[in-house]
């Protein structure tokens, strides 16, 4: 029985974004939007996070940071790309230092559109991530159970 969907922990990392989406992610935590009512808590520690929110594209300097954060997170994990820059590079796609969207570096599960992404759509993205997380956990659990039976 997946219990993680009642209290997933979310982590936010700012890639090379313009700040717009970051501020909207923060705005999700504040009284008007209050994402915490779904049990989601923002954490600064990748080792405790289930959902990774990345705003902004990936550039050649923060590539390794994004990879490292992703690897430090425990499985199952879900990556949400927030905003058009994180999805595809957006207006900065042609800049010399931009590698592209987040999916050029790590696997992305949910894409949230918008420039800047609105808090409503960020919340929608996070909730879809929570569902996916529960599904991933159930799959992982049944896989271990099947393995146990086989032995």
Which residues sit at the interface with another protein, rule CB under 8 A? 12-27, 30-32, 43-46, 56-57, 59-62, 65, 69, 90-92, 94-98, 115-116, 118
Task: Quickly list DSSP for 65-116.
Answer: HHHHHHHHSPSS-EEEEESHHHHH-GGGTTSTTEEESGGGTS---EEE--TT
Q: Closer CB to another protein, residue 27 or residue 135? A: 27
| CA dist list (Å): 17 to 67, 75, 92 | 17, 26, 9
Q: Closer CB to another protein, residue 112 or residue 134? A: 112
Q: Closer CB to another protein, residue 7 or residue 68? A: 68
In angstroms, what is the minimal distance from the CB of 49 to another protein?
Answer: 11
In angstroms, what is the minimal distance from the CB of 137 to another protein?
Answer: 25
């Amino acid at each position: 029985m997946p219990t993680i969907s009642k209290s997933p922990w979310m982590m936010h990392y700012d890639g090379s974004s313009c700040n717009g989406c970051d501020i909207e992610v923060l705005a999700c935590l504040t009284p008007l939007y209050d994402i915490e009512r779904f049990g989601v808590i923002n954490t600064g520690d990748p080792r405790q996070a289930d959902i990774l929110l990345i705003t902004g594209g990936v550039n050649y300097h923060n590539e390794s940071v994004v990879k490292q954060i992703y690897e430090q997170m425990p499985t199952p994990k879900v990556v949400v790309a927030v905003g058009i820059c994180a999805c595809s590079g957006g207006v900065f796609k042609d800049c010399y230092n931009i590698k592209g969207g987040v999916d050029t570096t790590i696997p992305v599960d949910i894409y949230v559109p918008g420039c800047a992404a609105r808090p409503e759509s960020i919340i929608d993205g996070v909730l879809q991530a929570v569902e996916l997380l529960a599904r991933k956990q159930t799959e992982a659990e049944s896989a271990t159970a099947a393995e146990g039976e086989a032995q």
